[in-house]
């Protein structure tokens, strides 16, 4: 009788343990293209107007068990912004691209213009674990009427390899803020370990340099591979690398930050970045 009682009690304890693990565990979500059924990499998952997760290179991300059935906003370059109830498989509709009159021009690459500088600067910034500010954008004025954007450089630090960021180009809105994304796909930049200048050649994408100027945005992806833990002092605390070099400012200079689905002027720093344009 004692053996049977202990056996039943042990099974009951195991059941409670498994149930608690299920209740508080994480669920793997697959994000796919509604048309092709292919995975959607590096999408943004928003929870209550705050960046919550990023899908990885295979279109996978994890959420808490309690998130299932809740509504989340999902955004990704090349897809319509969509609000969906969280389930184990989600699909997004590709966005329709409105094509203007096609003008075929031969790029000369004769008139090269360099704007800004990529240097270490006064300080650096990274993205905290709560990711309230996951993206910063620097404004470049088209002072020499460049037709295209060729190259972007910025200074980074990473404590290990395999860190990545996403590069986005924005038009200028009515109030001077970043408005519409110019690139039609994510530009994923692999960051080297240590202090380096990340150089991104985008000349093959033929991104036009608007006459009103352009914003170049660096988006930190909320991926496990980008996490840097503060162990052994605070083993559960972390932030997202890489760090980006900036110059400190007293008031707004040229950099904005994205928070709760809106852009705001950054009154504390300017991202150290160089943009190269050409005809």
**Any idea what DSSP says for residue 86?**
-
Looking at residue 96, its pLDDT comes to: 73
Q: What angle do CA 184, 185, 190 make, to 5 degrees?
A: 145
Indicate if the pLDDT at residue 20 is higher than 70.
no
**Cα separation values, 249 from 164, 213, 255, 266, 270, Å:** 27, 21, 10, 9, 7
Q: What integer is the mean pLDDT of 46-68?
A: 93
Rounded CA separation 31/279 (Å) = 39
pLDDT band at 123, cuts 50/70/90?
very high
- SS3 state at 269: strand
Which of the given ranges, 16-20, 37-41, 110-114, has the highest pLDDT on average?
Answer: 37-41
Looking at residue 15, its pLDDT comes to: 44
Rounded CA separation 222/226 (Å) = 7
Task: Give the CA count within 13 Å in the CB-facing half-sphere of 58.
Answer: 7
* Residue 146 near residue 111 (C-beta atoms within 8 A): yes
Would the pTM count as exceeding 0.95?
no
Whole-number average pLDDT of the chain: 87
**Any idea what DSSP says for residue 7?**
H
pLDDT in tens, 73-95: 999 999 999 999 999 999 999 98
Rounded CA separation 151/153 (Å) = 7
Rounded CA separation 218/194 (Å) = 18
Burial class for 13, CB neighbours closer than 10 Å (0-12, 13-18, 19+): exposed
pLDDT in tens, 241-255: 999 999 999 999 999
Rounded CA separation 203/220 (Å) = 23
Largest CA distance in the chain: 92
Element (H, E) at 155: strand 148-158
**Any idea what DSSP says for residue 110?**
-
Q: What integer is the mean pLDDT of 142-168?
A: 95
Look at phi and psi of residue 213 and say left if phi exceeds 0, alpha if psi is from -120 to 50, else beta: left
Percent of the chain past pLDDT 90, that is, above it, reads 73
Q: Which residue has the higher pLDDT, 101 or 18?
A: 101
pLDDT band at 133, cuts 50/70/90?
confident
């Amino acid at each position: 009788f004692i053996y049977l009682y202990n056996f039943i009690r042990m099974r009951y304890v195991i059941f409670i343990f498994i149930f608690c693990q299920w209740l508080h565990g994480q669920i793997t979500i697959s994000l796919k293209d509604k048309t092709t059924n292919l995975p959607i990499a590096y999408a943004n998952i928003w929870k209550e107007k705050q960046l919550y997760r990023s899908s990885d290179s295979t279109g996978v991300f994890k959420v808490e068990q309690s998130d299932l059935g809740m509504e989340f906003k999902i955004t990704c370059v090349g897809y319509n912004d969509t609000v969906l109830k969280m389930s184990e498989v989600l699909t997004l509709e590709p966005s329709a691209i409105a094509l203007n009159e096609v003008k075929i021009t031969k790029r000369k690459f004769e008139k090269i213009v360099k704007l800004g500088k990529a240097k270490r600067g006064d300080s650096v910034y990274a993205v905290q674990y709560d990711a309230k500010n996951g993206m910063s954008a620097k404004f470049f004025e088209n002072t020499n009427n460049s037709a295209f954007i060729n190259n972007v450089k910025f200074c980074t630090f990473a404590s290990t390899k395999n860190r990545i960021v996403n590069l986005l180009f924005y038009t200028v809105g009515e109030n001077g803020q970043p408005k519409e994304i110019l690139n039609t796909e994510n530009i994923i930049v692999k960051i080297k370990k240590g202090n380096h200048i990340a150089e991104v050649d985008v000349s093959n994408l033929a991104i036009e340099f608007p006459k009103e100027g352009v914003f170049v945005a660096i988006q930190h992806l909320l991926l496990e591979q980008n996490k840097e833990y503060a162990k052994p002092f605070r083993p559960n605390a972390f932030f997202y690398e890489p760090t980006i070099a900036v110059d400190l400012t007293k008031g707004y200079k040229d950099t904005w930050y994205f928070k709760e689905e809106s852009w705001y002027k950054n009154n504390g720093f300017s991202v150290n970045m160089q943009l190269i344009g050409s005809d």
